[in-house]
Every structure is written in structure tokens, then in C-alpha cells.
């Protein structure tokens, strides 16, 4: 690992000993391999109207045009036009589209990892419907192949390969579950041979948010269903999905789905984590075909079903709350009503942020950005915007349904000595269950 700067002064990390030419070639192979019809049609359609810029929190909070979403796709566009597109031979012959260089990839590391949370707000704003967030994800595959990702993310990648989770070795998982049960006084189920519900977790729940482990258990116990945590498949925040490491994405996906199949679960419940939803709900079938043998749902959907069907009863909390929609759950996942149903069942009046639901702003830490120290200054700018929106909404509480969003927002809060905290929706439900 080396931390370096490009000739233009942009910091980048590089992994491995490959030469510039080798890195470039590895990236190109990955870029070209990934380009299927959808991405190609979208790369062909851009009219350079610039409307995506105003949708991106990194452009809006810095005013620096280099953060314009479509610009983040430059290496991908070049690779496409030189090697895949219908006029590739012409473009190569006349040098109309230049080669992607290693220096360019090094410079783009920051644009693809530090200043993109894959939140998809640009996708929503683009009049041509170009799914820039998805194409950034594709670009990350190439960056990973080239050994050009932020060291912090690469460290999480290696740890996950070694441990099965970026937070803890798999062998320790059962102990963490039991300890959380003891600490919070909740009966836990771990490694049950058969269960209908497999409950999975996010890394923060194994470290600073362990109450979430007990909160989920409390709700499941109240429902009286057969459920379990399982050491074979527990880690749902798919680091491979964030880092562009497709092989790791597959490994982590298979662990979850195979564990669910092994115990005969009909439902796999994802934790309060946005990207876990993106990876497992929409992409798991990539390795299993269209029909997954198990239903994959987010904790928020699970709670909504339990509350709406009347199978659990909640105390009325009263008060008002603003809800921060995690991008992968709301804008890119279609789960917008569910958290609001739950808040309504808690008797909480929802005071919406100025931009909420589909058009809500990202917390600034998604897509691995919160784990990438180098991106802190950018992330804090986004936090300031979010804080203003929360203050303007004037609600008593500030709730979300993603542990990573909570960490990001609470890191911002402590930096700016803001006396508000982003709360977990699951926790709010668990704390107000009528037994």
C-alpha cells in the first residue's frame, strides 16, 4: 500500500506492485467486461446538460465542478467509446477518444470513492435517465482490479476476506450475540439448525450499536416466530459491493443465502443498513438466478409488516420526528412509505425535511465514504447541509433506518457539537413494544 499524489496534487492509494501499464490494462479489462447493453445505451445518451451536478451533494456543498456526476464516469466513457461502442474502431483509428492512462485512473480514485456515495440522486435528476450511480459502481470494479482504491476500504476488504466481516472474526459472532442478550436482557437465538427467519447484521452492530442486536431479537421474540442469527451467514453489509470487489461480493452474498437455505428460512431479514439492501435485495440473484429460494427484506419492511398487520403493538411515543431516508432503501430501493407507517404507529408526527423521500439528500457517508478517512472534509460539508435541513424541519427527533447513516450523521454532530442525534427506527420500535 502506498499513499501518493498525482502530478496535479490529488491524493490516491495504490495496492500491490503492478506497473502503471499493468494497472491500466487490468482496469480496462474490467471496464470492458462489465459494459452490458443498459450501461452502454446510457453512456451514449448523455447530452452534457449538467443537471446532474445540482443533484450531487459533493458538487452542491463545494461548488467545485470537478464533482459533477457525469465527469466521474470519464474513464468508463473513454473505455466504452474506444473499445466497446459501435464506432470504437473509428475512434481508435483517428485517435478521437484518447486511451485511459494510469495517471487518469489515479486521479479518478478520489472522484469514484471519496466523492461519490452511490446515492443515485444524479440518476433521479438526469433527463436522459442515466443511472450514474450504477455506472460509478461499475467503474469501481475496474479501480479495484487495478489496485487503486482507498487504503481504508482495501483494509476492510482484506479483513472481510480473513474474518468474514470487517468488524469481527466469524468465530466471535456467537459470543457477541450472547453478550448482547445478557447485557440487554433479551433471549437470543444463535445457530439454530432450523428457523423461518434468518436475521443478519451490519458491522456497526457488532461494535458500537450492539443494542440493535437485542432490539431485533426483542421484536422477533414478541412476534413468536422461529428465528435465528447464524454464524455461517450474518454479515450483510457487503464490502465487496462497495469496493468493486465482485469476487468478495459473491462470497458475502453466498454466505447469507446459503445459510438461509441451510436452515430452511423463508425470509432473510437485512439489518438497518442501506447498502446491504442494495447488494442482497437487488443483486443476490446474480448468483442464484431470478428466483431466490428465500425472500430478502430490510428490517424496516419487516417492522412495517409486523406493525401494519397488528402482530405487534406499540406504545404511542407522541412527539414529532424527521426521517432521513437512506438512499439505497428509499430512492434506490422504493421503501419510502414503510418507515413512515411505523412512525405513525408510534404516534409520531412526521415533519418532513425540505427534501425527503425520493429526493432526500444523502447523509454523505454512503458507498464506503464514511470509512474513508481521506474523505472526511467533504463528508462534513454534506453534514452541514443535512443539519440545516433537520433544524429547519423543527421536529423533536431525528430518525433513520441505516446504521451507516447514523454513524455518519452522529460523527458530524460530534464534530460540530450539535446536540441532536440520529436515532434508529428499530430501536424506537423495540423500546416501545407492548409486550
Partner 1 sequence: MELLQFARGPALTVALAVFAFGALWRLLGVLLLERRGVYSAPRPGAPSIFASALAGIIGKMWPHATFLKQSLFPVLNGYLFHLGLAISVLLFAPHILFIKSISGLSWPALPSNLVYGIAVVTAVSLVAALVHRLTDPVLRLISRADDYVSWMLTFLPVVSGIAAVSHIGARYETLLAVHILTVCALLVWFPFGKLMHAFLFVVSRGETGIRFKHRGADI
Which residues sit at the interface with ligand SF4, rule CB under 6 A?
Answer: 46-52, 55-56, 58, 69-70, 72, 116-122, 126, 128, 130, 132-133, 136, 362
Q: What is the nearest approach in angstroms of ligand SF4 to the Cβ of residue 213? A: 30
* CB-nearer residue toward partner 1: 111 or 156: 111
* CB-nearer residue toward ligand SF4: 127 or 293: 127
Q: Which does 118 bind (CB under 5 to 8 A by kind): partner 1, ligand SF4, none?
A: ligand SF4
* Contact by Cβ (8 Å): 213, 205: yes
Helix, strand, or coil here: 227? strand
Q: Which does 293 bind (CB under 5 to 8 A by kind): partner 1, ligand SF4, none?
A: none
Burial of 318 (0-12, 13-18, 19+ CB in 10 A): exposed
Q: Which does 283 bind (CB under 5 to 8 A by kind): ligand SF4, partner 1, none?
A: partner 1
* CB-nearer residue toward ligand SF4: 126 or 214: 126
Using the contact rule CB under 8 A, the part of the chain among 62-70, 180-188, 223-231, 406-414 near partner 1 is: 62-70
Nearest 5°: the CA angle 376, 211, 192 is 120
C-alpha cell read off for 190: 444463535
By CB under 8 A, is residue 268 in contact with partner 1?
no
Please state whether 36 falls in left (phi above 0), alpha (psi between -120 and 50) or beta.
Answer: beta
The number of C-alpha atoms within 13 Å of 27 and in the hemisphere containing its C-beta is: 32
Q: What is the nearest approach in angstroms of ligand SF4 to the Cβ of residue 369? A: 8
Which residue, 205, 203, 201, 178, is CA-closest to 190? 178
Task: Summarize the chain as % helix, strand, coil (round to 5).
Answer: 55, 10, 35
Residue 291-330 contact track with partner 1, rule CB under 8 A, x = bound = xx--xx---------------------------------x
Q: Which residues pair with 434 in a beta bridge?
A: 313
C-alpha cell read off for 65: 465542478
C-alpha cell read off for 420: 441532536
Q: Which does 56 bind (CB under 5 to 8 A by kind): ligand SF4, partner 1, none?
A: ligand SF4
Using the contact rule CB under 8 A, the part of the chain among 49-57, 310-318, 396-404, 426-434 near partner 1 is: 49-57
* CB-nearer residue toward ligand SF4: 107 or 205: 107
Residue with cell 423500546: 431
By CB under 8 A, is residue 258 in contact with partner 1?
no
> Measured between alpha carbons, how far is residue 255 from residues 47, 74, 138, 180, 244 in Å?
42, 34, 23, 23, 18
Binder to partner 1 among 24, 26, 42, 399 (CB under 8 A)?
A: 42
* CB-nearer residue toward ligand SF4: 56 or 346: 56
* Contact by Cβ (8 Å): 256, 271: no
Window 161 to 190, contacts with partner 1 (CB under 8 A): none
**Which residues are near partner 1 by CB under 8 A?**
35-38, 40-42, 44-51, 53-55, 59, 65-66, 68, 70-71, 84-87, 123-131, 134, 281-286, 290-292, 295-296, 330-335, 355, 357-359
Amino acid at each position: 500500500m502506498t499513499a501518493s499524489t498525482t502530478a496535479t496534487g490529488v491524493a490516491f492509494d495504490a495496492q500491490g506492485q503492478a506497473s502503471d501499464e499493468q494497472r491500466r490494462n487490468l482496469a480496462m479489462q474490467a471496464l470492458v467486461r462489465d459494459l452490458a447493453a443498459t450501461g452502454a445505451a446510457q453512456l451514449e445518451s448523455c447530452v452534457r446538460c449538467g443537471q446532474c451536478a445540482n443533484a450531487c451533494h459533493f458538487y452542491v456543498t463545494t461548488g467545485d465542478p470537478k464533482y459533477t456526476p457525469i465527469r466521474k464516469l470519464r474513464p468508463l466513457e473513454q473505455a466504452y467509446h474506444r473499445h466497446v461502442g459501435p464506432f470504437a474502431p473509428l475512434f481508435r483509428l483517428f485517435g478521437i477518444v484518447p486511451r485511459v492512462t494510469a495517471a487518469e485512473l489515479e486521479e479518478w480514485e478520489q472522484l469514484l470513492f471519496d466523492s461519490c456515495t452511490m446515492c443515485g440522486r444524479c440518476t433521479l435528476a438526469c433527463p436522459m435517465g442515466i443511472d450514474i450511480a450504477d455506472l460509478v459502481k461499475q467503474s469501481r470494479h475496474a479501480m479495484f482490479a487495478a489496485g487503486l482504491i482507498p487504503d481504508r476500504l482495501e483494509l476492510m476488504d482484506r479483513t472481510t476476506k480473513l474474518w468474514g466481516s470487517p468488524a469481527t472474526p466469524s468465530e466471535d459472532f456467537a459470543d457477541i450475540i450472547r453478550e448482547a442478550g445478557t447485557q440487554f436482557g433479551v433471549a437470543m437465538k444463535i445457530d439454530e439448525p432450523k428457523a423461518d427467519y434468518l436475521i443478519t447484521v451490519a458491522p456497526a452492530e457488532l461494535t458500537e450499536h450492539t443494542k440493535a442486536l437485542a432490539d431485533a431479537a426483542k421484536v422477533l421474540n414478541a412476534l413468536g416466530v422461529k428465528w435465528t442469527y447464524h454464524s455461517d451467514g450474518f454479515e450483510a453489509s457487503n464490502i465487496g459491493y462497495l469496493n468493486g470487489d465482485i469476487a468478495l461480493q459473491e462470497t458475502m452474498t453466498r454466505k447469507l443465502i446459503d445459510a438461509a437455505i441451510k436452515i430452511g428460512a423463508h425470509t432473510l431479514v437485512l439489518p438497518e443498513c442501506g447498502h446491504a439492501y442494495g447488494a442482497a435485495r437487488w443483486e443476490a440473484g446474480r448468483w442464484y438466478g431470478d428466483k431466490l429460494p428465500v425472500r430478502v427484506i430490510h428490517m424496516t419492511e419487516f417492522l412495517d409488516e409486523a406493525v401494519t398487520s397488528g402482530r405487534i403493538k406499540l406504545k404511542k411515543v407522541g412527539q414529532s420526528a424527521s426521517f432521513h431516508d437512506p438512499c439505497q432503501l428509499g430512492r434506490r430501493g422504493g421503501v419510502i412509505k414503510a418507515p413512515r407507517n411505523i412512525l405513525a404507529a408510534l404516534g409520531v408526527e412526521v415533519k418532513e425535511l425540505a427534501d425527503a423521500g425520493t429526493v432526500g439528500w444523502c447523509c454523505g457517508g454512503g458507498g464506503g465514504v464514511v470509512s474513508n478517512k481521506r474523505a472526511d472534509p467533504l463528508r462534513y460539508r454534506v453534514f452541514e447541509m443535512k443539519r440545516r435541513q433537520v433544524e429547519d424541519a423543527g421536529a423533536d427527533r431525528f430518525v433513520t433506518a441505516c446504521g451507516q447513516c447514523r454513524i455518519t450523521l452522529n460523527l458530524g454532530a460530534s464534530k460540530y457539537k450539535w446536540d441532536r442525534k440520529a436515532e434508529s427506527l428499530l430501536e424506537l420500535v423495540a423500546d416501545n413494544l407492548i409486550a
